[in-house]
Amino acid sequence: MTTTEQPVSSSSARASRSDADLQRMAKDHLWMHFARQSVMEDGGGVPIIVKGEGHHIWDSKGKKYIDGLAGLFTVNAGHGRRRLAEVAAKQAEELAFFPIWSYAHPSAIELADRLAHYAPGDLNRVFFSTGGGEAVETAFKLAKYYWKLQGRPTKHKVISRAVAYHGTPQGALAITGIPAMKEMFEPVTPGGFRVPNTNYYRAKEAGFEGTVEAFGLWAANRIEEMIQFEGPETVAAVFLEPVQNSGGCFPPPPGYFQRVREICDKYDVLLVSDEVICAFGRIGNYFACDTYGFEPDMITCAKAMTSGYSPIGATIVNEKVYEPFKHGQTAFYHGYTFGGHPVSAAVALENLDIFEEERLNERVQENSPIFRQTLEKLHDLPIVGDVRGDGYFFGIELVKDKATRETFDDDESERLLRGFLSKALFDAGLYCRADDRGDPVIQLSPPLTIGPSEFDEIEQILRSVLTEAWTRL
């Protein structure tokens, strides 16, 4: 430490910290993720969230907000669930930690059994990690190894969609389709190739004109084209989110995943459904591949498995991918100390009990059309170009000109999103995300416990802030 003060770590000292103390410590020592540290360095401070209850959060000054993003697409069962805290304490008391490296413990076993039960078809084998990026990294390594074990060692490339986010480990980053997040770390793991995403609103700009069904076919066929360009004997897997998050909630056009499955089968390419956001109720089912009627070879998931009460991730694979590992000396030399952590696994099981008891998936299925209709009211604002999404997961694309769909240039986007919208929405009591990784969008992904009256509240806040944003352009 270069500061003169020594850290005081007793719990009573922690409980009595003032907001100013926390801001000073954050400024001196905390490195935020995906954020400009200059905001803190320049004395702007950081919002400090101290409490959550249901779909609300409170900051260190006592102000209350709607959590419109479920933390980070994570707190699906809502904040402040005492039973999840209690089950964590009970598990920590009984067995706080043991690895699943050649050993096992009951919580991980039971959770693997439960996930296999929820997963479609014969996706029966669960490899645990501690988060989404590791789950994707695991699937990437497994895909390469699987083809080597089939005697096809050149199959190592992976295909994903433009603007898609799949995590930050160097392998997962090779699958991520956002150049601005990768260029400073190049060369990342080689072998990542990109195809167009399913942004129907901007299909014309991608070179397509026609119905949404025809667009689905067109977009899927770009994957076939890429496999042919690169050579089928070099391609190991395709990674796709059921609803692509980054770029602002692109649901799959009808028939898209059916055609992708066909293509993957034709060229012996594994299909990975990256459900780090979409699993556990976000789209109204435990796994969103069920919502869209396709069976992948692997599912990656994390976030809402515990509703964020403890970290865990998983890669769930089908019998075909697992088969070579059943025999002899073959082992998957890969793992994480905290993968399948007993506390996280116990919390996940309790969280999934809550899903069952409160019928959260059914709730999303029933309410999603009402959520959509409520947000679609915003179409009367000149700045709202598109409202899209599914389940409890929506994006609102902002435009400069509704008729031409002209988007904002970099400067305008910077002024609008970073300079005004994020803070204005937060000040107005709504925590959500103003995202500019593709065209500017506002993203909503609230806890699954909310309903029509909260949809109205969210719409009202968006309406007043977006109306003001337009006057500032």
Ligand X SMILES: Cc1ncc(COP(=O)(O)O)c(C=O)c1O
| CA pair distance 130, 45, nearest whole angstrom | 30
The residue within the footprint of ligand X, chosen from 78, 132, 216, 248 (CB under 6 A), is: 132
Part in contact with ligand X (CB under 6 A); list of ranges 96-104, 161-169, 376-384, 396-404 = 161-169
Q: How far is the CB of 305 from ligand X (least distance, A)?
A: 11
Contact track, ligand X, 294-313, x by CB under 6 A: --------x-----------
Nearest distance from C-beta of residue 137 to ligand X, angstroms: 9
Q: Kindly tell me which of 322 and 336 has the beta carbon lying closer to ligand X.
A: 336
Binding-site member from 245, 273, 368, 374 for ligand X (CB under 6 A): 245
Contact partners, residue 19, CB within 8 Å, separation at least 6: 48, 60, 61
Q: How many residues lie near ligand X (CB under 6 A)?
A: 13
The sheet with strand 64-67 has its strands ordered as 49-53, 56-59, 64-67, 430-431
Q: How far is the CB of 178 from ligand X (least distance, A)?
A: 11
DSSP labels, 80-120: --HHHHHHHHHHHHHH-----SS---HHHHHHHHHHHHHSS
Question: Least distance to ligand X from the beta carbon of 167, Å?
Answer: 3
DSSP code per residue over 386-434: EEEEETTEEEEEE-SBTTTTB---HHHHIIIIIIIIHHHHHHTTEE-EE
* 187 cis-preceded (ω within 30 degrees of 0): yes
274 or 350, CB closer to ligand X? 274
Looking at residues 162 to 201 of the shown chain, list those that interact with ligand X (rule: CB under 6 A): 165-167
**Which residue has the CB atom at the shortest distance from ligand X?**
132
**Residue 120 vs 313, nearer CB to ligand X:** 313
| Residue 435 binds ligand X (CB under 6 A) | no
Nearer to ligand X, 165 or 257 (CB): 165
User: Which residue lies nearer to ligand X by CB, 274 or 436?
Assistant: 274
Collapsed DSSP state (helix, strand, coil) of residue 244: strand
Residue in 136, 178, 360, 434 binding ligand X, rule: CB under 6 A: 136
Burial class (CB in 10 A: 0-12, 13-18, 19+), 337: exposed
Whichever of 324 and 335 has its CB closer to ligand X, that residue is 335
Question: 105 or 433, CB closer to ligand X?
Answer: 433
Mutual orientation of helices 360-376 and 452-472 as an angle, nearest 10°?
40
Closer residue to ligand X, CB minimum distance, 224 or 241:
241
Asked if 387 touches ligand X (CB under 6 A), the answer is no
The DSSP H or E segment spanning 216 is helix 212-230
Which residues 6+ apart lie within 8 Å of 186 measured at CB?
none
CB 371, CB 392: distance < 8 Å: yes
Q: Please state the closest distance from residue 141 (CB atom) to ligand X, in A.
A: 15
Q: Which tokens in the block code for residue 359? A: 């019928």
Identify which of residues 130 and 361 has a Cβ nearer to ligand X in the complex: 130
CB under 6 A: which stretch of 3-11, 85-93, 131-139, 228-236 binds ligand X? 131-139
> What amino acid occupies position 162?
A
Helix (H) or strand (E) holding 123: strand 123-129
Restricting to residues 260-299, name those near ligand X by CB under 6 A. Answer: 274, 276-277
133 binds ligand X (CB under 6 A): yes
Q: Please select the residue that binds ligand X; options are 52, 68, 78, 131, rule is CB under 6 A.
A: 131
CA dihedral 386, 390, 391, 394 (to 10 degrees): -30
x/- map, 201-240, ligand X, by CB under 6 A: ----------------------------------------
Q: Which is nearer to ligand X, 282 or 400 (CB)?
A: 282
Residues 6+ apart with CB under 8 A from 409: none
> Please, what is the minimum distance in Å from the beta carbon of residue 166 to ligand X?
4
Q: Which is nearest to 243 in space by CA: 218, 216, 200, 278?
A: 278
Which parts of this chain interact with ligand X (CB under 6 A)? 131-133, 136, 165-167, 241, 245, 274, 276-277, 302
